[in-house]
Structure 1
Amino acid sequence: MAIMDELRAWLILESVPGVGPVTASRLLSALAESADEEDPESDITALFDCSDGHLHDVGLSREQVRALRHPGIGVEEALRWADGPGNRLICRDSPEYPPLLREIPAAPLLLYCRGELDVLCLPQIAMVGSRHPSYAGKDNAARLARALAGSGLAITSGLALGIDGVCHQQALAVGGITLAVLGSGLDQVYPKRHQLLAEQILINGGLLISEFSPDKGPLAEHFPRRNRIISGLSLGTLVVEAAEQSGSLITARYALEQGREVFAVPGAPQNEQALGCNRLIQQGAKLVLNAEDVLAELNWTQICIPPGGAGAVSNANADENADVNAGINSALPYADLLDNVDYETTSVDTVAERTELPVEVVLGRLVELELAGVVIAVAGGYVRARRANHV
């Protein structure tokens, strides 16, 4: 069977209204059972040889059968996209489809990929977290991503602002491999501010992945679906910093349902951005203080930390911090400076070093933030007030 014929069959099946990964699996299983075949996906093209009556018998409505017989133009458009340079379209029964992902419930029928396809089956660790992290969250993400990528694990995340972006960038900074799973089509990179980051991932031997057709924009319902792929590709999921209602916890829940490891970095109880991680740890997630905590749990021994130490933060992290801060829509004064005040005592010198501002400027702004009630002066510096989150 020609590859394009097989792809066309999967594309047509996926285009049928009301047929997603779960329904498609049930349909193919029912057809295999009726044909006494052990593998329900051994020959998807046999689906199109069935009579309308048989398709009704296995659960398709008249409208769905009609859509199966008369597919829209999107099928041919996807095939043309797959023919483009650097593009690959992988169906679920392809030998290139990642085995770990195939194991999960509701595994995607198709994966649109751009970049180095070989990395799709590398051992991966998912790293996710807040889109609006604290300084400590960004620092932890940078430190852990560098060490884990330096150990030989590929870093998988969602290309979002905040923790995701830091992890992608730090993996690249140490010459590691990183994969980005998008909640949009690959021709509609979201967020736009990470278009350059997406290009850097490709240039450095990584991969962009989506289950959505290339022209699909980002929709709210896409991101939980994306999250199950992030966890499904990975040996485990590390939540670096997350509030109690964070989408990162959806990824952690998927990881649990998929039988994968869940890791979380603890945070100060006063930090609302860390409450989700603390809750995960209460519920049994592995507490992570350093990369060795993750590597030991995974029995991963290929450790090759790059020169300069795993805790070093590169300019890529600074760029991400600036990128996040630039997008904050806040009524508070000096929201960017506030990001650099921790929930534990932070000296004025430390804030000045992080913000690269003169000490006298930092002091003046901290006084204004204190008057606004978002930082508190203590012995040795300032702490962030519990309700000081500006996003």
Structure 2
Amino acid sequence: MIASSKDSGKINPDAAVNGIVFRPAPVLNPIKVTRTTNMKNLEFGTSEGLLTLLGIKGLGAVTARGIAEKFADLDALRTAEDEEFKGIANVTVRDLLRNDNAALQEANGKARREIEGVKEVGADVVCFLDELYPEQLLHIPDMPLVLRVCGDLGVIRRSIAFVGARAASEFGQTATHRMAQYFASRDWTIVSGLASGIDQISHRAALEVGKPTVAVIGSGIDTYRNDHELDMAVEIAGNGGLVISEQPCGRDADRATLIKRNRLITGLSVATFVMQAARKSGTMHSVRYATHQGKPIYVPGIPGKFQSDPLNEVPRLLAQSNGSDFVRWADFSQKIIDEVDEREEQPLATAIASRDAYLQVEQELEIMMPAAAKSASSLPKVA
């Protein structure tokens, strides 16, 4: 059950929106939270086990993943030979997991409370070893080990990302709505970040034609920056879509978490549509994530009278720039620049000049789709 609380900016399971309480279809069977104090059977390949590992001070995501993939449970870890920890955990972490029951109990209690908090707002928890974990994210660097999700994970089978400025111009708003609605009506799921501007226009375009959309947020799944984001999240989850977060309940979004969520937006998608952005903007992180992940980028063609608008600078430059050009004008640190292949001679983005080009873009997207995810039917004809 998920509903809006106008007062707190957090989801309130006892509240309703316009008299309606949304009950999105569950994506997982109810999670059974173990109440026993016997930790030896704690399974690491579960959301509870991974959240427990991640809650231990000094134990990071890389180590947690290695432990979950190597050891079935705590009992297996504690009976393993020292050699089995090589390349997975250092001596300090190994000894802590073997001997420090107090630290494990504390971390496990926190993990259980997190799972319960997620479920209280009608959401669920899925880890990277679960069958329902989005396959697309298994192939990106720094994938999240645990996701909080509300809605239908099945809608991300055919997904494209729309990203761009919060303060979109009239041109950007119109182009985004038209393009997002076209692809949504053709059964492409629109993925975006729920922020004002391009994100919300993209989500709204899909909802208007009765199609699901996916919101990836930088806060906890129960925490939103304002009423507009909260209400749209409720609407998305309540109408066949999906809300995703990698952050714990109660976590407010900040610059770091918003940048991190951008890698999930592009990672879930076959391609990324950069609709409007200034050179120094958060959207540039979506550009570099898409580039690093090998995902194609599309931009709207910019008519001459809008060329000078700073919000159209990034789409225009992406359609003109190869790898070395991008390195020259992108305002990134050297570490980020190193992710871009300067040898790439083709423009980093394809400009969509007009609505007549939509079908060609769609055909390109179909070719990019993994074979298992392609629709059994051929492309529908344009009306």
**Normalising by the residue count of structure 2, what TM-score does the alignment of the two structures yield?**
0.69
Match of 2:175 in 1: 140
Deviation at 1:86, TM superposition (A): 3.1
The answer to which of 158-167 and 15-24 deviates more is 15-24
Match of 2:127 in 1: 91
2:363 aligned with 1:296, yes or no? yes
Deviation at 1:47, TM superposition (A): 6.8
Matched AA of 1:279: L
Distance, in Å, in 2 between the alignment partners of 1:261 and 1:47 is: 43
Give the counterpart of 1:194 among 217, 220, 229: 229
Distance, in Å, in 2 between the alignment partners of 1:21 and 1:9 is: 13
**Normalising by the residue count of structure 1, what TM-score does the alignment of the two structures yield?**
0.68
Compared CA separation, residues 271 and 219, structure 1 to 2 (3 A): same
Q: Contact 1:266 / 1:274 at 8 angstroms: preserved in 2? A: no
Distance, in Å, in 1 between the alignment partners of 2:81 and 2:257 is: 32
Q: Deviations over 1:144-168 (max 9, x none)?
A: 0100101110000000000000000
Give the counterpart of 1:151 among 186, 192, 215: 186
Match of 2:350 in 1: 286
Matched AA of 2:320: Q
State which structure, 1 or 2, has the greater radius of gyration over its C-alpha atoms. 1
Kindly report which structure 2 residues correspond to 1:9-20, keeping only aligned pairs within 5 A, or say none: 9-20=49-60
Matched AA of 2:361: V
Q: Contact 1:159 / 1:165 at 8 angstroms: preserved in 2? A: yes
Match of 1:216 in 2: 251
Give the SS at the match of 1:294: helix
Match of 1:275 in 2: 313
Structure 1 segments unaligned to the other structure (5+ residues):
32-39, 308-391
Compared CA separation, residues 256 and 243, structure 1 to 2 (3 A): same
Give the counterpart of 1:253 among 261, 265, 288: 288
Deviation at 1:18, TM superposition (A): 4.7
Match of 1:43 in 2: 72
Give the counterpart of 1:79 among 103, 110, 115: 115
Q: Deviations over 1:146-205 (max 9, x none)?
A: 001011100000000000000000100011110000000011023432221111112211
Distance, in Å, in 2 between the alignment partners of 1:282 and 1:24 is: 42
Distance, in Å, in 1 between the alignment partners of 2:207 and 2:235 is: 8
Matched AA of 1:281: A
2:81 aligned with 1:59, yes or no? no
Q: Deviations over 1:35-90 (max 9, x none)?
A: xxxxx368365774366966875434637835863443421112213544632100
Distance, in Å, in 2 between the alignment partners of 1:83 and 1:193 is: 23
Q: Contact 2:118 / 2:222 at 8 angstroms: preserved in 1? A: no
Compared CA separation, residues 171 and 50, structure 1 to 2 (3 A): farther
Give the SS at the match of 1:93: coil
Kindly report which structure 2 residues correspond to 1:27-38, keeping only aligned pairs within 5 A, or say none: 27-28=66-67
Deviation at 1:304, TM superposition (A): 6.5
Q: How many residues align?
A: 293
Distance, in Å, in 2 between the alignment partners of 1:47 and 1:231 is: 37
Q: Contact 1:263 / 1:286 at 8 angstroms: preserved in 2? A: yes
Give the SS at the match of 2:280: coil
Matched AA of 2:318: L
Q: Contact 2:56 / 2:104 at 8 angstroms: preserved in 1? A: no
Compared CA separation, residues 125 and 8, structure 1 to 2 (3 A): same
Compared CA separation, residues 83 and 161, structure 1 to 2 (3 A): closer
Compared CA separation, residues 63 and 45, structure 1 to 2 (3 A): closer
Compared CA separation, residues 213 and 242, structure 1 to 2 (3 A): same
Compared CA separation, residues 61 and 13, structure 1 to 2 (3 A): same
Match of 2:140 in 1: 104
Distance, in Å, in 1 between the alignment partners of 2:186 and 2:221 is: 29
Deviation at 1:142, TM superposition (A): 0.3
The answer to which of 272-281 and 260-269 deviates more is 260-269
Distance, in Å, in 1 between the alignment partners of 2:58 and 2:81 is: 17
Match of 1:371 in 2: none
Deviation at 1:20, TM superposition (A): 4.2
Q: Contact 2:63 / 2:89 at 8 angstroms: preserved in 1? A: no
Distance, in Å, in 2 between the alignment partners of 1:81 and 1:279 is: 44
Distance, in Å, in 2 between the alignment partners of 1:280 and 1:47 is: 51
Distance, in Å, in 2 between the alignment partners of 1:255 and 1:294 is: 17
